[in-house]
Amino acid sequence: MSINRLKTGNIFLLSLLVLFSLTACSSNLSHPNSHGVLELDSTNFAKYWVAKDKLIDWKNSLSRELQNNSNESTTQYKASFVVDSSGQMTQLKIINSVTGELIEQASLAEILEQEFYPTTQNHAQQAVRINTSFRL
């Protein structure tokens, strides 16, 4: 009888361990990171947000002096930004890929006015961070 109790007790403990492990794994999957911002590339961005009035026009939105300061015919830039849960663009950073220079925030004012609508798949209005690149 004591052997059956040990087997039953071990099975019960093993079942609890498996249940808690599964619960912990599923709760980790629901939180993209500690800030609640999901990291995306530009390809997957359209699954979550769409531009409110127009697409981002990097060339015309950046200040003229930034475009004129470029020594090359085209310069590669890396951009990173967050679209928060209300559809506002925040935390915009643009870096010149050639020089490593961070573009001043004053030059980014027009781009930061961009707003977004959540898609039907994004009914929870998940905030996302986008990393992309473009040429001027």
For residue 51, give its domain range: 34-135
DSSP state of 16: H
Task: Check whether residue 38 and residue 26 sit in a common domain.
Answer: no
pLDDT (tens digit, 9 = 90+) per residue, 45-90?
Answer: 999 999 998 888 777 777 655 655 555 567 889 999 999 999 999 9
Residues 40, 26 within the same domain: no
| Pair 8, 73 in one domain | no
- Of 37-41, 53-57, 114-118, which gets the smallest average pLDDT? 53-57
**What band does 108 get if pLDDT is binned at 50, 70 and 90?**
confident
The Cα 37–Cα 31 span in angstroms is: 8
107 and 61: one domain? yes
Report whether 37 contacts 129 (CB < 8 A): yes
Task: Assess whether 42 and 75 both reside in one domain.
Answer: yes
The reply to whether 64 and 114 lie within a common domain is yes
Distance CA 109, CA 92 (A): 10
Q: Are residues 52 and 93 in the same domain?
A: yes
In the block, tokens 């026009």 appear at 57
Q: Are residues 74 and 108 in the same domain?
A: yes
Question: What's the pTM?
Answer: 0.67
Using CB atoms within 10 Å of the CB of residue 84, give its burial: 0 to 12 exposed, 13 to 18 middle, 19+ buried: middle
Tens-digit pLDDT profile for residues 4-31: 554 555 555 445 444 444 444 433 333 4
